[in-house]
Structure 1
Amino acid sequence: MSVFIVENEPKSPVTEAYRTLRTNIQFSSFDNDLKSILVTSSGPSEGKSTTIGNIAFTMAQAGKRVILIDCDLRKPSVHKKFSISNKIGLSDYLVGEATLEEVVVKYNDSLSIIPSGTIPPNPAEMISSNKMKSFIKQCEADYDCVLVDAPPVIAVTDAQILSTFINGVLLVVASGQSDKDAAVKAKELLVNVKANIVGVVLTKTKTKSGYGYGKGYGYGYGYYYADDDGSKKKKRKKAK
């Protein structure tokens, strides 16, 4: 069975929370359409791959043509969560060992997935290559929504590099697990490269009952906005 609650339990409160997140993402940019969204975290095991998978389902259910790309070329997990092969994928395409058609896995009529593929010796160089940038642009042209799963921000530079040519970034933070200083540092690293941070997703919040993830799973969503004087303030919306 799929690990994604949006697919398994479409009427659950957590699924509805993801729909709220989808709506907030869509309205987070008034001037520019967010065709591509990167999801990362400050550290490992904070739920970023589960989060991006559920976002993918909500986007697909809204009638969008979605492609989810596993850009974690160091410790990939998207293929495990979707129970698909990782024999070939993004890295194989980037080095010319596979065509784009060969690495795209059609999960359903609206959702396609590109697994990470062979783990390369030089992931940062691959991520920052001109071919990678062109590949993202092509995906933006071919799909309504491009979702990119990136490694944690603090551990390696991959997410920072990717954020420079991705329209928006979601930062995943695990409640009761993430170190506050680490979360702040992750945000600062993204801001330093002028990443467009559209929101923060709080995972593993306490709920009265578990929906698909067991006890203690929930989610909250926050976003930053500019006041009239240009200073940054934070608004927060929670859903459980």
Structure 2
Amino acid sequence: MFKKKRMHHGRKLVISTDRKSIVAEQIRTVRANIKFAMKDKECKTLLVTSTSIGEGKSTIASNIAISFAQEGQKVLLVDADLRKPTMHYTFNKPVSPGLTNFLMSNWCLSNILKDSGVVGLDLITCGPMPSNPAELLGSSTMNIFLEETISLYDLIIFDAPPLLSVADAQILSAKCDGTILVTSSGTTEKRNLYKVKEVLEVSNANVLGLILNHFKLEKNHYYYEYYGEKD
């Protein structure tokens, strides 16, 4: 893949590798809160996004997906960040074929699905990066993709680009049952949160909640960094 050897290390899938950790317990709490927030409406599609890059949305999306799969649900995790995809690194899979093959070249769904290595969790990577990501995500073909996957899975989780960078996440938020926003403790500016709030209101997104990432507790309490990985 590269002329010179470059190692891409998978992100911290702690919900799978260290299920008794504090972080894993927090992910299970997030799972419970998602179910509680959607108790009056079935949640089939969930969007995970952030205000800007480097806030850890991709790591959190992966861990949430694994958590629901561990509960016995049939889950599909989709890398909908068509500009800076990372899920293929996280799960050590090839980036192609993937979502863009379906959207641009009419590939069958079965031909782009990948085994994540986690029981109950399938994966769709980005595929070849396109020149028109926003248009693809807002297309009628994307609606067909949603219809097909909703009929096959209990939950589809989309890892989307940051909201303030491009229009992609806003477009997807209007199509999904729920949206989760990831922010980074100590770095996300309040003014950006207000901007994100306005963006999501315009798209009539159903915001289920906000996850504060990279948060450190005092050493005289339980001490940990929520996640050390960036997008």
TM > 0.5 fold call: yes
Structure 1 counterpart of 2:141, which letter? K
SS in 2 for 1:186: helix
Structure 2 counterpart of 1:150, which letter? A
SS in 1 for 2:182: strand
Quote the residue 1:217 is aligned against.
Answer: 226
For residues 176-195 of structure 1, what are the structure 2 equivalents within 5 Å?
A: 176-195=186-205
Q: Are 1:124 and 2:134 counterparts?
A: yes
What is the rounded CA distance, in whole Å, between the counterparts of 2:61 and 2:209 in structure 1? 13
Structure 2 counterpart of 1:48, which letter? K
Deviation at 1:30, TM superposition (A): 2.9
What is the rounded CA distance, in whole Å, between the counterparts of 2:90 and 2:119 in structure 1? 19
Greater mean alpha carbon deviation, residues 121-130 or residues 102-111: 102-111
Quote the residue 1:149 is aligned against.
Answer: 159
What is the rounded CA distance, in whole Å, between the counterparts of 2:218 and 2:62 in structure 1? 23
Q: Which 4+ runs in 1 deviate beyond 4 A?
A: none
Structure 2 counterpart of 1:169, which letter? T
Deviation at 1:83, TM superposition (A): 1.1
For residues 221-232 of structure 1, what are the structure 2 equivalents within 5 Å?
A: none
SS in 2 for 1:95: helix
Give the number of the structure whose residues are more often strand, by fraction.
Answer: 1
Cα deviation, 1:72-130, whole Å, max 9, x if unaligned, reads 10011111111111021100111126321111001233000000010001111100001
For residues 2-41 of structure 1, what are the structure 2 equivalents within 5 Å?
A: 3-41=12-50
Count of aligned pairs: 215
Quote the residue 2:67 is aligned against.
Answer: 58
TM-score (norm 1): 0.85
Structure 2 counterpart of 1:121, which letter? S
C-alpha contact (below 8 Å) 1:207/1:218 kept by paired residues: no
1:100 counterpart (109, 121, 124) = 109
Q: What do you get for the CA RMSD once the two structures are aligned?
A: 1.8
Q: Are 1:167 and 2:177 counterparts?
A: yes
What is the rounded CA distance, in whole Å, between the counterparts of 1:87 and 1:132 in structure 2? 18
1:82 counterpart (83, 91, 114) = 91
Deviation at 1:55, TM superposition (A): 0.1
What is the rounded CA distance, in whole Å, between the counterparts of 1:134 and 1:205 in structure 2? 39
Structure 2 counterpart of 1:193, which letter? S
Structure 1 vs Structure 2: percent identity of aligned residues?
38
Deviation at 1:165, TM superposition (A): 1.1
C-alpha contact (below 8 Å) 2:150/2:156 kept by paired residues: yes
Give the unaligned 5+ runs of structure 1. 220-240
Structure 2 counterpart of 1:189, which letter? V
TM-score (norm 2): 0.88
